[in-house]
Amino acid sequence: METATSGKILFAGEDITSMNDLKLTDYRRYKIGFVFQFYNLIPNLTALENVELAKQVCKSPLEPEEALRIVGLKDRIHNFPAQLSGGEQQRVAIARAICKNPDLLLCDEPTGALDTETGKAVIRVLSDISHKMGKTVIIVTHNSLLAPIADRVIEMKNGRVIANIVQNKPVDLEGIKW
Amino acid sequence: MVNMLQKKIFRDILESRWSFAAVVCICTLGIALFSGLNLYVSTMENNVEGDYQSANLADYWVYKTDVSASDVEKIQTLEDVEFSQRRKLLEVGLSGGINATLRLHAIEGQPKINIPELLEGQLLDGTESKSLLLDSRFAKANGLKSGDTIRFSIGEQQEDWLIKGIIRDAEYIYYAPDGLTVPDYQKYGFAYVNASALPETPYNELILSLIEDTRHTNREIAADLRETLGNVNIIDRQNQPSSSYIADDLEGIKQIGALFPIAFFLIAALVTWITVGRMMENQRQHLGTLRSLGFSKSEIMGRYSFYGILITIPSMLLGWIISRYLAKFLYGLGTIRYTIEENGADTFSVHFFIGAIAVAFVTCGAAFFSCKKSLKSTPSALMRPKPPARGRRILLERIPLFWKNLSFSGKIVTRNLFRNKARMLMGLMGIIGSAALILGGFGMKDSMDAMIDRAFKETMRYDVEIKLKTPMAPEDAAYIYEALDEAQSIEAAMGFGVYIYGGDGGVQNPYLVVMDDNQSSLHFTDSAGLEVALPDNGVLITPRMAKALNAGIGSVVMAERSDGTVIPLEVANIIDFPVGNEIYISRTAFSKVSSLPFTISVLFINGHGLDFSLLDNDPRIALIETKSEMEANMITILKMLESLQMVLIIFSGLLAFAVMMVLGIMNYHERIRELATLKVLGFHQKEMKRLVLRENIWITIFGLPFGVIAGFGLIYMMGAQTTNPDMEISPSISASSIVLGCVLIIVFTVFVNHIMGRKFKSIDMISSLKSVE
């Protein structure tokens, strides 16, 4: 989405900073799942159809119904985004991301627009995806209270890494509050 | 503070500059078309009316075999008559290199009515013999100047006459003589001479002008004239060939000039309404902020209505410039047919201001009302983001067979189409309108071609027509038959102009043609396409004549010759002959209704490679014209109509383009966030285009069939408008034109999509991360 001003980013040994536009599109298409802060669902598609949309563009997708079941929305698959709550919309967005069966899930403030309880439910889904399905999930957040649950925490300030801590014993989600 | 608000609006416009430009474009087209067409019409009307004034054009033309000096005196004493004057009307042939016919008006002294305007040389002083004032168009077409001489052949004599001056006459602004459908300036002209120069010719024409505030109707005055002069032939100004033709022609353009711009203004209103509404929608939060800062509703509405003014001002300027070119162009074409001042079109007409006010009204109104609509919510509600658009199931989803088989992108496109009905309507209207106009244009071209084909290939079966200057007894014409002994056939006919008075006071001035009973020069067919032979009783008339006279098969009309003879004619059949203002009768039928002897005035000749050199300088022959010459003449005059239609088609095409662009831009901006998301998800540009731009294609496909139907309607309308006594355009359109028109519209759509598609490259993915604005 952005180009690097300096340095290199390696993904599975490949330098993505030197990729051209087409290759980058393919990289996003096949390798990355993306969860936005404001969900960015297509308003005139149902939950299921929003997930199907992502399924269209990848090689080995999960079944959309399965993806929605994982995020716990099996009963709401025929609802339009306007008929869903914020948390539900965010979970549809996650289902859309995991349906692509990506190697890496990038989440931009996934709980930013949600209240604590809904936010927790969303984080629960993300952590299940990481631990049960074996995917790498990166969460970007301002909420430092979330940090204890992560396997690794990279702290940044003004665009620079100031700490890179591997946590051998992450705290369970139920043990934190914000 | 208010200035800051204005500044903000300027910046808003800059941000949505393409939509703004498209709306300005549509408004410009509306103003240009409305004021351009009407500017032409008003210029023509002013010029023609000015010519009538300065020439003191007659109000009545009266024809009688011999108008005596006492007749003139008697007329002069009638209370409504201002001036009256008698003239000798005579047609003479020219020889000596110029093969043409001149219509001479011989007058005593100086003219008081129908005063010719001198363009070059000198006027006559009333005493010269063998001097004349010559028609400027005829002079130009034949390369004649004042001081030159031309050779008349009067009877058996050849005389050289001096051209003293070159003139223009308000009576002959449009001049297509009897039996001719279109002007032919090289072969027909008019001239003024002194009455004393033609001592043997009797006075046979009386012209008179009325006092300005006459209280009598045409009918009463005509009755007065008949009472004074006996049985005479009377033509009023409304029915005088030149002025009635001009009036009809301008009326037609006026109607187009009202109809088309109204469509443009309506579309402009719709597009402005939607565009401004969109802008307001995007600026909900700005409006909320302004309100909470303490601006009153009326201040804000007032400022946003300013948007309408900003659309109007450039549209006025551009519209005015284009309208001047348009009027100039049409006026230039007008000078081909009409003998008018070649000074070009006027600068302004009141229509320009009407158009500008209409645009200001429509755009300010649209801006004002959509702003008012947004301001209904409280400031705090305005500042909160708008709730996400409600997705809705559409009717089509209830047809599972259809819905299941629709591709995924198909589903998105269909739902989106039905979600925003106003936009779909606008797109459909744009497509239907432009398809109709483009097909209308093609249809008119086809119809004209069909008309020319029907007239010159199917009906007219002769190759050459010879017109005699004065009717000849059959035995006197034998030498012509001898000169053309190579011809396959020669058929003689008698023809003369008659006046037929319709029930409602209108006068038709057709040419009555008497032909051999079993003639084969003209192949008549009825409206069903069946062959019609010349009947033994009654006449054949054209449908336009039947309509004008309100006559059907079996009705009897009274035809009056210029010498006052009245011939009762029964309508035997109505024939489908698209050009010419003529009535046909067989010799047998004619002998039953009139005692006039058969004389020859026209010869129809069949044969190829004929040698006419023996007849070329024959003083008794007015005109030798081949069918292809007639056809070429006709096409020249039809060019005017065709050009007007081209203008309309180009304008409509531009309108369609602007509407499609607005649609595309709006669709793009509204969904930019969606597009950014798709891009992050890894969609390729091609796939995104398929999702978004296919909408336009669908609108085109839905709209086209209706466009074709509307196009047919338009062709019928334009056909009816262009029909006059001399020709009738029956609507028709070929399959290939329909296909071509549709292909053009599709190419348009694809082109707009292509332009929009290029914008997809620059979609910024980061915008998908930002908060919903």
Which structure tokens are listed for A27? 């990289």
Alpha-carbon span A178 to A149, nearest angstrom: 13
Which residues have CB under 8 Å from B390's CB, separation 6+?
A43, A80, A82
Give the pLDDT confidence score for residue B179 in this predicted structure.
Answer: 63
How many folded domains does chain A comprise? 1
Whether residue A38 lies within 8 A of chain B, CB to CB, comes out as yes
Would the CB atoms of B681 and A37 count as touching at under 8 Å? no
Q: What is the mean pLDDT of chain B?
A: 83
Asked which of B154-158, B458-462, B579-583 is least confident by mean pLDDT, the reply is: B154-158
Q: Is residue B574 helix, strand or coil?
A: strand
Would the CB atoms of B415 and A81 count as touching at under 8 Å? no
Quickly state the pLDDT bin for B471 (edges 50, 70, 90).
confident
Quickly state the pLDDT bin for B168 (edges 50, 70, 90).
very high
Would the CB atoms of A57 and B687 count as touching at under 8 Å? yes
DSSP symbols for B327-343: HHHHHHHHHHHS----S
Nearest CA in chain A to B417: A44
- At B514-534, the pLDDT tens digits run 999 988 889 998 888 888 899
Residue A105 in any domain: the answer is: yes
Q: How do strand B131-135 and strand B188-194 relate by DSSP bridges? A: antiparallel
Instruction: Report pTM.
Output: 0.75
Residue B627 CA, distance from chain mean position: 25
- A175 pLDDT above the threshold of 50: yes
Residues 56-85 of A with CB under 8 A from B: 56-58, 80-83
Of the candidates B388, B683, B770, which has its C-beta nearest A81's C-beta? B388
Rounded to whole angstroms, what are the CA distances from B558 to B401, B580, B587? 70, 20, 18
Quickly state the pLDDT bin for B433 (edges 50, 70, 90).
confident
Whether residue B391 lies within 8 A of chain A, CB to CB, comes out as yes
Nearest CA in chain B to A56: B408
Give the pLDDT confidence score for residue B503 in this predicted structure.
Answer: 62
Residue A38 in any domain: the answer is: yes
Q: How many CB pairs under 8 A join A and B?
A: 85
Residue A165 in any domain: the answer is: yes
Question: How distant is the Cα of B394 from the closest Cα of chain A, in angstroms?
Answer: 11
Q: What average pLDDT does range B592-621 have in this prediction? A: 84
How many C-beta atoms lie closer than 10 Å to residue B420's C-beta? 18
Residues 399-428 of B with CB under 8 A from A: 408, 411-412, 415-416, 419
- ipTM (interface pTM): 0.82
Q: What average pLDDT does range A37-50 have in this prediction? A: 83
Q: What average pLDDT does range B704-710 have in this prediction? A: 91
Quickly state the pLDDT bin for A178 (edges 50, 70, 90).
low
Q: How do strand B60-63 and strand B233-236 relate by DSSP bridges? A: antiparallel
Question: How distant is the Cα of A26 from the closest Cα of chain B, in angstroms?
Answer: 6
Place of tokens 């070429």: B632
Of the candidates A26, A82, A96, which has its C-beta nearest B390's C-beta? A82
Q: Which residues, listed in sequence order, are joined to residue B84 by a DSSP beta bridge?
A: B208
Of the candidates A32, A36, A44, which has its C-beta nearest B391's C-beta? A44
Q: CA-based diameter of chain B, in Å?
A: 103
Residue A41 in any domain: the answer is: yes
Interface test with A, best of B421, B677, B690, B695 (most A CBs within 10 A): B677
Place of tokens 């008012």: B372
Alpha-carbon span B507 to B238, nearest angstrom: 9
Quickly state the pLDDT bin for B389 (edges 50, 70, 90).
low
Q: What average pLDDT does range B338-365 have in this prediction? A: 85
Label residue B728 exposed, middle or buried (CB < 10 Å: 0-12, 13-18, 19+).
Answer: buried
DSSP class of B384: S
Question: How distant is the Cα of A162 from the closest Cα of chain B, in angstroms?
Answer: 24
Chain A residue numbers touching B760 (CB-CB < 8 A): none
- At A96-117, the pLDDT tens digits run 888 888 888 888 888 877 788 8
Question: How distant is the Cα of B676 from the closest Cα of chain A, in angstroms?
Answer: 9
Give the pLDDT confidence score for residue B192 in this predicted structure.
Answer: 94
How many C-beta atoms lie closer than 10 Å to residue B750's C-beta? 14
Question: How distant is the Cα of A76 from the closest Cα of chain B, in angstroms?
Answer: 14
Question: How distant is the Cα of A34 from the closest Cα of chain B, in angstroms?
Answer: 7
Of the candidates A29, A45, A80, which has its C-beta nearest B682's C-beta? A29
Alpha-carbon span B620 to B155, nearest angstrom: 8
Chain A residue numbers touching B406 (CB-CB < 8 A): none
- B393 pLDDT above the threshold of 90: no
Give the pLDDT confidence score for residue B772 in this predicted structure.
Answer: 58
Would the CB atoms of A53 and B681 count as touching at under 8 Å? yes
CATH number at residue A119: 3.40.50.300
User: What length does chain A have?
Assistant: 178
Quickly state the pLDDT bin for A82 (edges 50, 70, 90).
confident
Q: What average pLDDT does range B641-662 have in this prediction? A: 79
Label residue B335 exposed, middle or buried (CB < 10 Å: 0-12, 13-18, 19+).
Answer: middle
Alpha-carbon span B383 to B654, nearest angstrom: 39
Chain B residue numbers touching A45 (CB-CB < 8 A): 391, 411-412, 415
Give the pLDDT confidence score for residue B506 in this predicted structure.
Answer: 67
Residue A94 in any domain: the answer is: yes
Residues 675-734 of B with CB under 8 A from A: 676-684, 687
Of the candidates A44, A96, A108, which has its C-beta nearest B419's C-beta? A44
Return the top range by mean pLDDT from A4-8, B7-11, B506-510.
Answer: A4-8
Asked which of B276-280, B456-460, B681-685 is least confident by mean pLDDT, the reply is: B276-280
Q: What average pLDDT does range B306-317 have in this prediction? A: 88
Give the pLDDT confidence score for residue B1 in this predicted structure.
Answer: 47
User: What length does chain B have?
Assistant: 773
Residue A108 in any domain: the answer is: yes
Give the pLDDT confidence score for residue B155 in this predicted structure.
Answer: 67
Chain B residue numbers touching A108 (CB-CB < 8 A): 769
Question: How distant is the Cα of A177 from the closest Cα of chain B, in angstroms?
Answer: 25
Q: Which residues, listed in sequence order, are joined to residue A139 by a DSSP beta bridge?
A: A107
Which residues have CB under 8 Å from B502's CB, separation 6+?
B508, B548, B549, B550
DSSP symbols for B597-657: PP-EEEEEEE-SS---HHHHT-TTEEEEEEHHHHHHHHHHHHHHHHHHHHHHHHHHHHHHH
Domain range spanning residue A147?
Answer: 32-170
Would the CB atoms of A28 and B408 count as touching at under 8 Å? no
Give the pLDDT confidence score for residue B341 in this predicted structure.
Answer: 82
